[in-house]
């Protein structure tokens, strides 16, 4: 058995790929942050990655110490600089020197670490199919994590960064997301301040909060008794009902828009928040009912029967026994309904004409015109996103449990 | 309890009083839900079918009214002079009739009524006319002859001080008896009906499958333990949690082909493309593959990528939950038997996940088909991205033909009904 087998060659291949991937990503990161026209040196990255991987993986497992990895990193740096003609990020080293040093070192660190994590405990020799697959899957998973993260984060990153810039700068160099912190708080957050002072975003925020909270309250008020009845009480049509709840859930909103628009127009309910408070719960109650009945079924019936035996009425059993036990479920349903109501666009867009009644979704749609600068549009998007995202991350566990327990609503 | 020993008929038939009470209580608890779902979902569904057979446009929603003005015709110079008061009334709507038009007005005391129109009666200064029904757009004059008294000559009252008051029954364009098949004819004869249906199906199938595959992949990534996993999971879920309008507009600016578009600038900087690509505005690009050339739909594909980006987290969540409930014993056994990681995935994980994947596929399929906001906000239905749902909006509100929009909505609902039948046929029992 030779010293170098298939694992070694595969590792070198993955070293080349990691070198290319990180050369592109880190250079673009530097480009975004500095605003300078850096150019990823992919070929240099590939060569440097090959060298670093060969150096690291040629050692047997036990010798791949921290010192060895630092050595591989230094080799990566050296080869990168040499292969790119002393321009590791496509610009001469004397411009933005400190920054270039930081970013190339970062590039070396993440590349070597990626190679190390990919090749991990696999030696340079020949291995069977099992370990070859392990190696390949490690690379694919690592690559997947990196690309998923970038694909998911990029639009949010652009959203936040654009909201802090101004239109001229954005148009002249769209890749320059450098933030000038020297300009002070009010200048940096000018778009946000203007949205609240000139574009009524305070009102929109209030309306959105009002509509969402009221929708949650109405939904729970309707869905809790209904879910209890479906879960606990026996009545003809029970099975049919618990199945057909999901059917209602599949009626497209766009089919309801025309008749509701026509009827609400004639009743004078169209351009009101009451109209929304009528429609939103109707779309969320079936979901909430379905989720809650699942939870209620999970609560032991004996507890409630004990309550009944002790002389509580059904309503009091629900109030004093079932609801306290179902509190986590109520919280997750409430969060979920809040999310739907807060994000709802179609009905808010169709129904509301009056600026004083706009919800955030409707207000942002109003900003979407060529007369309003982009940073305002993105600032509006950030204002709408932050509350719901913060709430969600804060209570993620609840929401995840709630989502998977009963609903798949999109 | 409710049966007595004397009955020898076996178990009781029907419901006993306790069961009846329980049933009534259950219905009572469900009543509010029934009512709201009935009024906001079921009734509009039926109303939509009704509207689809009616010639209604957006403008017809404003109820017709009688517009009137009054004018004194002639000179009243001395006491005893006569003149006409002319009321000119008009039905504001050119399409719907108005029934039972009654109008009343008060003539100033200083003028005395001499003759009135046949349909009117006067009682002192009070005038009341029963004008009957007004056809669409009908207009007419009502003449009242008056004579001036000395008081009028001394201090002329303006007859317009008292406005004529009308009571009438406007015909409701939504409830009248006009029906037409024009809406459906228009929808099915439209040159873009088949392209729209094709775009809908392509969007639905590709969006669903893409989100599912990406969700499966992401779930595999999230199933390994590493530092920052909780953070990444939160990040991966955020496209689904953020408001659609916020992320859609961020994508629009990201993909902008003009100056300031991030992705185009990025690709040019990387040397991947020479000039900006209009990702959301270009209908198709011709691709030559092995001598075959076909049109690759650009905008539609980008819209599908957005759909996948936004909904893969949901699939990830469900698949992850299912994966974590699979016991590790089976994997350990496979490990001992020497199964490679790919074999373990193919022969253990995938079969376990098929159930949840099937449910997710069917549900997502229907919801992707129903999706409106995403495409509407990204392209507005331009460049070959008009799906059936966007077409509903387009017909009803952009072209202002409510009836035609409702007809498209009926088509949407029928296609959906077919899907639902399939869904219920293949629905696994453990879908909760």
DSSP A161-219: HHHTS-HHHHHH-TT-----GGG-HHHHTHHHHHHHHHS-HHHHHHHHHHHHHHHHHHH
Is-contact B250 A384, C-beta < 8 A?
Answer: no
Structure confidence by residue, pLDDT tens digits, B16-37 = 788 888 888 888 888 888 888 8
A61 against B267, higher pLDDT: B267
Closest Cα in chain B, distance from residue A124 (Å) = 20
Beta bridge partners of B144: B85
pLDDT single digits (tens) B374-423:
999 999 888 888 999 999 998 888 888 888 889 999 999 999 888 878 77
Q: Is B399 on the interface with A (CB under 8 A)?
A: no
pLDDT tens-digit profile of B127-181? 888 877 877 778 888 888 888 877 777 777 777 777 777 777 776 767 776 777 8
Tell whether B360 is within 8 A of chain A (Cβ): yes
Helix (H, G, I), strand (E, B) or coil at B178: coil
Q: Tell which wins on pLDDT, B67 or A29.
A: A29
Phi, psi of B373 (to 5 degrees): -55, -45
Distance from CA of A258 to the nearest CA of B (A): 7
Predicted confidence (pLDDT) per residue in A25-84, tens digit: 999 998 888 888 888 888 999 999 999 998 888 888 778 888 888 999 999 999 999 988
The first and second tokens of residue A231, run together, are 């879960």
pLDDT of A199 = 87
- Verify whether the Cβ–Cβ distance B266 to A149 is below 8 Å: no
Query: B292-297 and B284-289: which strand pairing?
Result: antiparallel
Q: Are B86 and B146 in contact (CB under 8 A)?
A: no
pLDDT at B292: 78
Alpha carbon distances (Å) from B63 to B91, B94, B98: 11, 11, 10
Beta carbons of A118 and A135 less than 8 angstroms apart: yes
- Cβ of B420 within 8 Å of Cβ of A279? The answer is no
| DSSP notation for A247-305 | HHTTS-HHHHHHHHHHHHHHHT-TTSHHHHHHHHHHHHHHHHHHHHHHHHHHS-HHHHH
Q: How confident is the model at residue B209 (pLDDT cuts 50, 70, 90)?
A: very high
Predicted complex ipTM: 0.91
d(CA A360, CA A373): 17
Cα gap A363→A315, rounded to integer Å? 42
Contacts of B72 (CB under 8 A, 6+ apart): B83, B84, B85, B86, B159
CA-nearest residue to B264 within chain A is A174
Neighbouring CB atoms inside 10 A of B383's CB total 20
CA distances from B69 to A338, B88, B100, B116, B139 (A): 52, 5, 19, 17, 12
pLDDT band at A124; cut points 50, 70, 90: confident
pLDDT value at B428 more than 80? no
pLDDT at B1: 45
Beta partners for B88?
B69, B141
The H-or-E segment that residue B284 falls in is strand B284-289
Query: What's the pLDDT at A2?
Result: 58
Contact residues, chain A, for B309 at CB < 8 Å: 151-152, 155
pLDDT at position A409 is 42
CB contact, 8 Å: B279 with chain A?
A: no
For range A273-286, the mean pLDDT: 90
Shortest distance between the Cα of A72 and any Cα of chain B, in A, equals: 24
How many CB atoms neighbour CB B306 within 10 A? 25
Alpha carbons B67 and B52: distance in angstroms, whole number: 30
Pair A298, A322: CB distance under 8 Å: no
Pick from B237, B253, B402: CB nearest A374: B253
CB B371 within 8 A of CB B389: yes
Question: How many angstroms separate the CA atoms of A307 and A314, rounded?
Answer: 9
Do residues A336 and A407 make contact, with C-beta atoms less than 8 angstroms apart? yes
Is residue B82 predicted with pLDDT exceeding 50? yes
Give CA torsion, residues B210, B213, B215, B218, to 10 deg. -120
Nearest to A148 among B218, B366, B372 (CB): B218
8 Å CB contact of A365 and B245:
yes
Give per-residue pLDDT as tens, A107-122: 999 999 999 888 877 7
Closest-CA residue to A382 (of A214, A197, A213, A195): A195
Determine the residue of chain A that is closest to B366 in CA distance. Answer: A250
User: Do A95 and A52 meet the contact criterion of CB atoms below 8 Å apart?
Assistant: no
Interface with chain A: mutation pick from B16, B41, B237, highest number of A CBs within 10 Å: B41
Instruction: Select from B22, B246, B341 the residue whose CB has the most chain A CBs within 10 Å, as the one to mutate to test that interface.
Output: B246
Q: Mean pLDDT across chain A, nearest whole number?
A: 86
Nearest CA in chain B to A292: B432
The pair of three-digit structure tokens given for residue A171, joined into one six-digit string: 């148009």
Most confident of A160-169, B240-249, B352-361: B240-249
Dihedral through CA A31, CA A34, CA A37, CA A38, nearest 10? -50
Residue A242 in this model has a pLDDT that exceeds 80: no
Instruction: Please tell me which of the candidates A259, A364, A405 has its beta carbon nearest to residue B47.
Output: A259
Greater model confidence, B39 or A210: A210
Query: Which distant-in-sequence residues (6+ apart) come within 8 Å of A133 by Cβ?
Result: B340, B341, B342
Q: What is the phi/psi pair of residue A183, to 5°?
A: -80, -5
B37 touching chain A per CB within 8 A: yes
Does B3 have pLDDT greater than 50?
Answer: no
User: What DSSP line would sit under B56-103, residue for residue?
Assistant: --GGGGSPP-EEEEEEEES---STT-EEEEEEEEEES-SS--EEEEEE
Closest Cα in chain B, distance from residue A171 (Å): 4
φ, ψ at B366 (rounded to 5°)? -70, -40
Q: Given this model, what pLDDT does residue A399 score?
A: 64
Of B56, B269, B366, the CB nearest to A175: B269
Between A229, A279, A410, which is nearest B40 by CB?
A279
A233 vs B241: CB contact, 8 Å cut-off? no
What is the rounded average pLDDT for all residues in chain B? Answer: 83
Report how far residue B396's alpha carbon sits from residue A350's, in angstroms, rounded to the nearest whole number: 11
Beta carbons within 8 Å of A98's beta carbon, 6+ residues apart:
none
- Whether residue A258 contacts residue B51, with contact meaning beta carbons closer than 8 Å, is answered with yes
Q: Is B330 on the interface with A (CB under 8 A)?
A: no
Residue A373 pLDDT > 60 = yes
For residue B7, the model assigns a pLDDT of 47
Q: Which is more confidently placed, A92 or B200?
A: B200
CA distance A90 to A43: 12
Burial label, B308 (beta-carbon count in 10 A; 0-12, 13-18, 19+): buried
Residue A67 Cα, gap to closest chain B Cα (Å): 23
Share of chain A above pLDDT 90, in %: 34
**What's the start-to-end Cα distance of chain A, in Å?**
56
CA distance B266 to A32: 10
Reported as a single tens digit per residue, the pLDDT across A3-24 is 778 888 889 999 999 999 999 9
DSSP state of B157: P
Question: pLDDT digits over B104-118, tens only?
Answer: 888 777 777 777 777
Contacts of B296 (CB under 8 A, 6+ apart): B284, B285, B286, B287
pLDDT band at residue B10 using 50, 70 and 90 as cut-offs:
low
Nearest Cα neighbor of B196 from B29, B384, B411 is B384
User: pLDDT value at position A64?
Assistant: 82
- The pLDDT score that the predictor gives to residue A179 is 78
Q: Is B287 helix (H, G, I), strand (E, B) or coil?
A: strand
Distance, CA of B49 to CA of A275 (rounded, Å): 22
Between chains, do A133 and B342 touch, taking CB under 8 Å as contact? yes
Average pLDDT value for residue range A149-164: 92
**CA atoms A291, A296, A299, A300: torsion sign:** negative
Measured distance CA(B357)–CA(B368) in Å, rounded: 15
CA distance A182 to chain B (A): 24
| Contact across the interface for A260 and B44, Cβ inside 8 Å | yes
| Cα B53 from Cα B406, distance rounded (Å) | 8
Q: For residues A158 and B179, which has the higher predicted lDDT (pLDDT)?
A: A158
A contacts of B370 (beta carbons < 8 Å)? 250, 252-254
| Exposure of A25 in the CB half-sphere (CA atoms within 13 A) | 18
What span, in angstroms and rounded, lies between the C-alpha atoms of A26 and A39? 10
């Amino acid at each position: 058995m030779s010293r170098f087998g298939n694992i070694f060659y595969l590792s070198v291949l993955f070293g080349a790929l990691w070198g290319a991937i990180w050369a592109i990503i880190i250079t673009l990161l530097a480009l975004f942050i500095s605003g300078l026209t850096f150019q990823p040196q992919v070929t240099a990255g590939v060569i440097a990655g090959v060298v670093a991987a060969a150096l690291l993986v040629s050692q047997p497992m036990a010798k791949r110490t921290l010192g060895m990895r630092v050595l591989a990193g230094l080799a990566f740096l050296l080869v990168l600089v040499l292969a790119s003609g002393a321009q590791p990020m496509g610009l001469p080293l004397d411009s933005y020197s400190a920054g270039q040093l930081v970013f190339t070192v970062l590039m070396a660190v993440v590349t070597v670490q990626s190679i190390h994590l990919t090749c991990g405990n696999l030696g340079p020799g020949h291995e069977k199919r099992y370990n070859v697959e392990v190696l390949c899957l490690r690379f694919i998973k690592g690559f997947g994590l990196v690309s998923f993260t970038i694909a998911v984060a990029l639009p949010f990153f652009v959203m936040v960064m654009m909201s802090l810039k101004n239109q001229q700068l954005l148009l002249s160099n769209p890749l320059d997301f450098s933030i000038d912190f020297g300009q002070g708080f009010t200048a940096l957050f000018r778009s946000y301040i203007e949205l609240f002072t000139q574009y009524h975003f305070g009102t929109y925020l209030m309306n959105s909060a009002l509509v969402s909270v009221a929708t949650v309250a109405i939904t729970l008020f309707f869905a809790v008794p209904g879910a209890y009845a479906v879960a606990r009480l026996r009545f003809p049509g029970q099975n049919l009902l618990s199945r057909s709840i999901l059917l209602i859930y599949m009626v497209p909103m766009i089919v309801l828009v025309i008749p509701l628009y026509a009827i609400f127009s004639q009743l004078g309910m169209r351009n009101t928040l009451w109209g929304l408070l009528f429609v939103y719960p109707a779309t969320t109650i079936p979901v909430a009912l379905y989720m809650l009945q699942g939870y209620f079924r999970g609560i032991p019936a004996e507890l409630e029967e004990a309550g009944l035996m002790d002389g509580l009425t059904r309503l009091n059993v629900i109030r004093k026994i079932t609801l306290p036990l179902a509190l986590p479920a109520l919280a997750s349903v409430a969060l979920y309904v809040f999310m739907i109501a807060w994000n709802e666009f179609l009905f808010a867009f169709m129904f509301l004409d009056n600026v004083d009644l706009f919800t955030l979704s409707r207000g942002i749609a109003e900003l979407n015109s060529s007369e309003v600068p982009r940073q305002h549009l993105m600032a509006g998007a950030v204002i709408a996103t932050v509350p719901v995202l913060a709430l969600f991350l804060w209570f993620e566990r609840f929401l995840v449990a709630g989502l998977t327990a009963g609903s798949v609503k999109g | 309890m409710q049966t007595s020993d004397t009955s020898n008929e076996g178990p009781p038939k029907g419901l006993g009083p306790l069961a009846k009470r329980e049933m009534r209580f259950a219905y009572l608890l469900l009543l509010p839900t029934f009512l709201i779902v009935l009024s906001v979902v079921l009734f509009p569904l039926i109303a939509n079918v009704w509207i689809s057979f009616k010639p209604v446009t957006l403008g017809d929603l404003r109820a017709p009214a009688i517009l009137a003005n009054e004018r004194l015709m002639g000179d009243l110079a001395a006491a005893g002079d006569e003149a006409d008061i002319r009321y000119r009334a008009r039905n504001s709507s050119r399409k719907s009739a108005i029934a039972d038009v009654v109008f009343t007005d008060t003539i100033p005391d200083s003028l005395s009524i001499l003759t009135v129109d046949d349909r009117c009666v006067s009682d002192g200064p009070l005038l009341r006319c029963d004008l009957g029904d007004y056809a669409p757009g009908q207009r007419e004059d009502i003449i009242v002859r008056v004579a001036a008294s000395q008081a009028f000559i001394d201090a002329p009252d303006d007859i317009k001080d008292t406005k004529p008051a009308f009571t009438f029954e406007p015909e409701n364009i939504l409830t009248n008896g006009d029906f037409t098949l024009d809406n459906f004819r228009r929808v099915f004869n439209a040159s873009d009906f088949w392209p729209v249906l094709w775009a809908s199906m392509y969007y639905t199938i590709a969006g669903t499958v893409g989100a599912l595959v990406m969700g499966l992949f992401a779930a595999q990534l999230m199933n390994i333990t590493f530092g920052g996993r909780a953070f990444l999971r939160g990040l991966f879920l955020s496209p689904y949690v953020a408001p659609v309008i916020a992320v859609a507009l961020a994508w629009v600016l990201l993909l902008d082909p003009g100056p300031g578009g991030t992705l185009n600038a990025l690709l040019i900087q990387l040397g991947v493309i020479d000039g900006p690509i209009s990702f959301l505005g270009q209908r198709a690009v011709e691709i030559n593959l092995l001598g075959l050339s076909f049109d690759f739909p650009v905008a539609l594909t980008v819209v599908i990528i957005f759909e996948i980006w936004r909904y893969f987290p949901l699939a990830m969540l469900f698949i992850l939950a299912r994966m974590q409930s699979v016991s590790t014993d089976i994997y350990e056994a496979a490990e001992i038997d020497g199964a490679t990681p790919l074999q373990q995935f193919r022969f253990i994980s995938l079969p376990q996940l098929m159930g949840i994947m099937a449910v997710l596929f069917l549900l997502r399929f229907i919801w992707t088909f129903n999706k409106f906001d995403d495409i509407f906000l990204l392209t507005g239905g331009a460049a070959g991205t008009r799906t059936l749902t966007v077409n509903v909006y387009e017909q009803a509100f952009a072209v202002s033909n409510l009836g035609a929009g409702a007809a498209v909505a009926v088509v949407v609902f029928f296609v959906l009904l077919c899907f639902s039948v399939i869904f219920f046929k293949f629905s696994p029992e453990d879908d909760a």
